[in-house]
Amino acid sequence: MAKGIKDKVAIIGMGCTRFGERWDCGPEELIVEAFREALADAGVDRNDIEMAWLGLFFQEQSAGKSALPLSMSLRLPNIPVTRVENMCATGTEALRGAVYAVAAGACDIALAVGVEKLKDTGYPGLPERSKGTFDDLWLPNATAPGAFAQLASAYQARHQCNPTDMKRAMAHISVKSHANGALNPKAHLRREITEEQAMNAPMIAAPLGLYDCCGVSDGAACAIVTSVEKAREMGIKDMVTVKAMQLAPSNGLEMSNNAWDGSYLLTTRIAAERAYKEAGISDPRKELDMTEVHDCFSVTELVVMEDLGLCPEGGAIKAVLDGEFDRDGNVPCQIDGGLKCFGHPIGASGLRMAYEMYLQLLGRAGERQLASPSLGLTHNLGGHPFRNVASVSVFGLHSA
């Protein structure tokens, strides 16, 4: 009987570039920047790395297809490299590949890199793609904000909440993330904003205004992982281990069937339940010290707080406005600024979240360090609420 991934794999080194409009960098520079930091952190030789995973979403528009962008940028010694893509869960998928390889005993040391170079596409948001599939014959040419805005309209309808209260809670989320991002030297957006600014910003896709939307950034993040045994052999005592990595893609139910009312994220609930089981968490509100969730839009974070069981269903507006997820709240969320302010280079985002967990758990988060956290959660939602890929991962301290 499989026992899951808990405490089998340790993260021994991580790196992350500054996110933002990196006009100075292509994907190669971003990959190398993140990798150098991780390699120095892990204290291993580059030739000790036996297998690698590359997370990259926009292939031709960003860095190109296949393993080559990673293998060539790092001049890896022809080790196996696999490129993975699972929309916004791409970075987490790269890490999952590396973690599973180590857990399977296929190798001792594996590398995961996520990268995205978005600012060469010419688009202020995510780029448009060429059309040519069956979906294009019937699905709306939706944008991400438009798709996620609908969470708000369905949530309002389901919980009969006051739209202004909801907009204020969404504003609170963004104000909090901007405040956190201001403390993060690697964040894309480092300016604090006020609730009033967030409430009155130009409308992008109703009810999401400009400050309800995350940035579109260039960036890369990287992890080097090994088995707990090997880490112990390397003399690492307080190590960050993977407690759970779960993934739940839609099977089409949300988009095709009325069983889903549009007010929550079905796959996030499923992935969270599995991850809590894998990690042995029974009361996430008490046991989790922090989260990095997929706050592509403020409303996503709001709804995800419920989907992760961090507040009661229908209670997110109150919990957010009560500050439960602020830096000094019960379970701080987006301590690094989140997608909102750290930025969202798609392929790197999952690894960027893990990076913050890693730094916080090891007490290396500088000005934004929380008081001795020992367990944290990351969450990605790739795609749109009506069809998506959700990942929930848990990372924690493990004493050898």
Partner 1 sequence: MSYGILSFGAYVPALRLSRGAVLEAVGWAVPGLRGLAAGERAVANWDEDTITMAVEAGRDCLAGMDGPVGHLALASTTLPFTDRSNSGLVADALVLDNHLVTEDLAGSRRAATSALARAAHNQGAMLLLASDCRETRPGSNQEMLYGHGAGAVLLGEGKPIAEFLASASIHEDLVDQYRSADTDYDYALEERWVREEGYFKIVPSVIEQAAREAGIAVADIDRVVLHGSTSVARALAKRLGLAADRFTSDLMAECGDCGAAQPLVMLAHTLEQATPDQYVMVVGFGQGADAVLLRTTPALSAMKTGRGPSRYLARKRELTNYTKFLSLRNQISIDFGLRSERDNRTALSAFYRKRRDITSMLGGRCRECNTLQFPRSLVCVKCGASDTQQPESLAGLTGRVKSFTEDWLAYTPSPPYVYGNVEFADGANIMLEFTDFAPGEVKVGDPVRLVFRIKDFDPKRNFRRYFWKPAPVMD
Within residues 236-275, the interface with partner 1 by CB under 8 A covers 251-263
- Least Å from the CB of residue 252 to partner 1: 5
Q: What is the DSSP letter of 60?
A: I
Q: Would you say 4 or 145 has its CB closer to partner 1?
A: 145
By CB under 8 A, is residue 13 in contact with partner 1?
A: no
3-state secondary structure at position 212: helix
Judge contact between 71 and 33, C-beta under 8 A: no
Judged by CB under 8 A, the residue of 65, 72, 106, 131 near partner 1 is 131
How far is Cα 163 from Cα 172, in angstroms, rounded to an integer? 14
How far is Cα 364 from Cα 184, in angstroms, rounded to an integer? 12
Q: What is the DSSP letter of 35?
A: H
Catalytic residues, by residue number, are: 88, 344
What single-letter amino acid sits at 44? V
**In degrees to the nearest 10, what's the CA dihedral of 122, 128, 131, 133?**
140
How far is Cα 146 from Cα 201, in angstroms, rounded to an integer? 16
Judge contact between 335 and 179, C-beta under 8 A: no
Q: Would you say 13 or 207 has its CB closer to partner 1?
A: 207
By CB under 8 A, is residue 165 in contact with partner 1?
A: no
Query: Cβ atoms within 10 A of the Cβ of 37, count?
Result: 19
Q: Would you say 58 or 325 has its CB closer to partner 1?
A: 58
Q: Would you say 38 or 266 has its CB closer to partner 1?
A: 266
Q: Which two tokens stand for residue 119?
A: 């600012």
3-state secondary structure at position 239: strand
Stretch that binds partner 1, among 105-113, 152-160, 165-173, 392-400 (CB under 8 A): 152-160
392 strand-pairing partners: 246, 379
By CB under 8 A, is residue 314 in contact with partner 1?
A: no
How far is Cα 54 from Cα 181, in angstroms, rounded to an integer? 26
By CB under 8 A, is residue 235 in contact with partner 1?
A: no
Parallel, antiparallel, or unpaired for β 375-384 and 290-292?
parallel
Q: Which two tokens stand for residue 356?
A: 């913050």
Residues 6+ apart with CB under 8 A from 328: none
Q: Would you say 73 or 263 has its CB closer to partner 1?
A: 263
By CB under 8 A, is residue 280 in contact with partner 1?
A: no
Within residues 58-117, the interface with partner 1 by CB under 8 A covers none
By CB under 8 A, is residue 125 in contact with partner 1?
A: yes
- How many residues sit in the footprint of partner 1 (CB under 8 A)? 47
By CB under 8 A, is residue 204 in contact with partner 1?
A: yes
Judged by CB under 8 A, the residue of 40, 47, 64, 128 near partner 1 is 128
Q: Where are the alpha helices (DSSP H) in 3-81?
A: 27-42, 68-73
- Least Å from the CB of residue 379 to partner 1: 21
- Least Å from the CB of residue 129 to partner 1: 8
Judged by CB under 8 A, the residue of 45, 75, 78, 133 near partner 1 is 133
Stretch that binds partner 1, among 42-50, 69-77, 123-131, 177-185 (CB under 8 A): 123-131
Judged by CB under 8 A, the residue of 59, 143, 369, 374 near partner 1 is 143
By CB under 8 A, is residue 160 in contact with partner 1?
A: no
Q: Which spans of this chain sit near partner 1 (rule: CB under 8 A)?
A: 122-123, 125, 128-134, 136-143, 145-147, 149-151, 153-154, 156-157, 203-206, 208, 251-263, 386
